[in-house]
Structure 1
Amino acid sequence: MKKTTFDTWLVNGNITIFCGSHADEFKKDILSSSLLGELVASQKSANPEVNWPIYTETVQKIGWMVNSRGNQRLDFDNRNLLTLVGQCAGSDLPKDEQQALADAWAELTKLQPDSPAITAIIDKLQRSATVSESSNISAVSTGAMLTIIRNDKTVVTLQVTFETTHCLDSDLLDQPVLNAIGNDRTNSWQLSSLLDGRHYNQVRADVLKKLGRNIETKLLHITAASG
């Protein structure tokens, strides 16, 4: 199996992974448009079920062309976030890109719990957190969104909601502490899209103007932990 490179970013606490080689300008466009969608959605609601359609509608308006979309109910117990992402992605990712995702995740788990990246991820989970109504024990429900940009520039966006009796910390990335919320509702959403460069060229300046300093404060590049 060929080795696929990866480049990892956080967009307001959401993990974004570029698989393979992409032009810097393309990366900037994806990150900026995704950030605008995230900020618009977050301003409307912290509830993942509410802000998912707001996010997807926003990025479509500025040039993300939808290839496919879907949602489903996943039943799971004692999972970590990586295995949930893999379950959501299903067959959308070939094996080399699945390995790139796993490699990127391994780098994240090497970071110190108090690092800026881990802090941003956990802060995002906490902003969406509510006390679960489905459990007789103390549990918190929240949701995570992940974006994977494939070698062919397809943008795969995934969101999954879950509950845990574990505290919201870095263990959620790779420890089996996540369970399905017991309300029988949809808990997984997927969007596959492509950035229409011609459309985005027309709105790029407006997007950047709306983002302002959020470009510097809400985008974080992840570099490999030393050692």
Structure 2
Amino acid sequence: MPYSTADIYIVDGNITLFLGSHSETFKQDILHSSLLANLVSNSQSIASENWLSAYKKALGNLFWITKSSGNQLLKKQPASIIKFATPTLSSLLSATELKQLSDAFGTIKNLPEDSDALIALLNKIQHGSDNANTVCPLLTVIAANKTIISLRPVFDTIHPVNIAILDEELSQKEVLSGPQITLWVTYLAEEKYVSVRNKIIEKLGSKITTHLHHIPPYEKTALLDA
């Protein structure tokens, strides 16, 4: 079977990857419901547990059904998103799917600096305070079997990070705390979601255009720019 790339979206500044083949209707349902949940949760600090709780509650109301959920606190160590994602997701994704995840990060890193998607991601990936900077990305991976895997590492750093944090490690000296990893596995009850689909699209309105960004594979982007 030929190798395929992930279908990449930035949803209100968070990364969503579709692995395998999915219908456009299913993709739009996932994207729209998660966008609405993001917007509902944004009254809370993105680095807080309150934000994540509000996000999960909102999606529960939109028929994302929880299969499992857990937290893990790791020791202080050099940090990157891929460093924490790979071992955490290795029991849920194949080696090929993990490679798709790594390649997707490379595609995102190659976005132009003035890209709306990149700007949204950098604005959402961390929260700064007087004493520290909290890195708190949300990564959502939809596997080929439609399982939705959400991963959120949270850790403090001595300075703000840039997009290199996806797969280039910060040194341990730059990291102030061991990461707290939240892993949340769900699925969309599609037959129930149909009843609210149009209402969600109506509620989102123009935000579907302004807060939802599709990123084509890097190879295609490079060819278009050539």
Residue 112 of structure 1: SS of its match in structure 2? coil
Q: In structure 2, what is the Cα distance between the partners aligned to 1:18 and 1:123? A: 22
Residue 221 of structure 1: SS of its match in structure 2? strand
Q: In structure 2, what is the Cα distance between the partners aligned to 1:42 and 1:152? A: 30
Task: Determine what percentage of the aligned residue pairs are the same residue.
Answer: 32
Residue 55 of structure 1: SS of its match in structure 2? helix
- State whether structure 2 residue 142 is matched by structure 1 residue 149: yes
Q: CA deviation at 1:153?
A: 0.5
Within a 5 Å distance, the mapping from 1:58-73 to structure 2 comes to: 58-73=58-73
Counterpart of 2:128 in structure 1 is 129
Q: CA deviation at 1:150?
A: 0.2
Return the letter of the residue paired with 1:55: Y
Q: CA deviation at 1:95?
A: 1.2
Residue 20 of structure 1: SS of its match in structure 2? coil
Counterpart of 1:226 in structure 2 is 222
Residue 36 of structure 1: SS of its match in structure 2? helix
Q: CA deviation at 1:164?
A: 2.1
Contact 1:10 1:219 in 2 (8 A): yes
Within a 5 Å distance, the mapping from 1:49-198 to structure 2 comes to: 49-126=49-126, 128-132=127-131, 139-177=132-170, 181-182=176-177, 187-198=180-191
Q: CA deviation at 1:18?
A: 0.3
Residue 91 of structure 1: SS of its match in structure 2? coil
Contact 2:11 2:34 in 1 (8 A): yes
Q: In structure 2, what is the Cα distance between the partners aligned to 1:111 and 1:178? A: 24
Structure 1 residues 75, 173: closer, same or farther in 2, change over 3 A?
same
Within a 5 Å distance, the mapping from 1:25-64 to structure 2 comes to: 25-64=25-64
Cα deviations by residue, 1:9-45 (Å, 9 ceiling, x for unpaired): 0000100000011100100000001111111111233
Structure 1 residues 89, 130: closer, same or farther in 2, change over 3 A?
farther
Return the letter of the residue paired with 1:44: Q
Q: In structure 2, what is the Cα distance between the partners aligned to 1:170 and 1:63? A: 32
Q: In structure 1, what is the Cα distance between the partners aligned to 2:139 and 2:22? A: 18
Return the letter of the residue paired with 1:43: S
Counterpart of 1:136 in structure 2 is none
Structure 1 residues 6, 46: closer, same or farther in 2, change over 3 A?
closer
Q: CA deviation at 1:221?
A: 0.4
Q: In structure 1, what is the Cα distance between the partners aligned to 2:171 and 2:38? A: 24
Q: In structure 2, what is the Cα distance between the partners aligned to 1:103 and 1:142? A: 21
Q: CA deviation at 1:174?
A: 2.4
Q: CA deviation at 1:131?
A: 4.1
Counterpart of 1:203 in structure 2 is 196
Contact 1:17 1:149 in 2 (8 A): yes
Return the letter of the residue paired with 1:153: K
Return the letter of the residue paired with 2:118: I
Q: In structure 1, what is the Cα distance between the partners aligned to 2:40 and 2:139? A: 17
Residue 171 of structure 1: SS of its match in structure 2? helix
Contact 1:161 1:181 in 2 (8 A): no
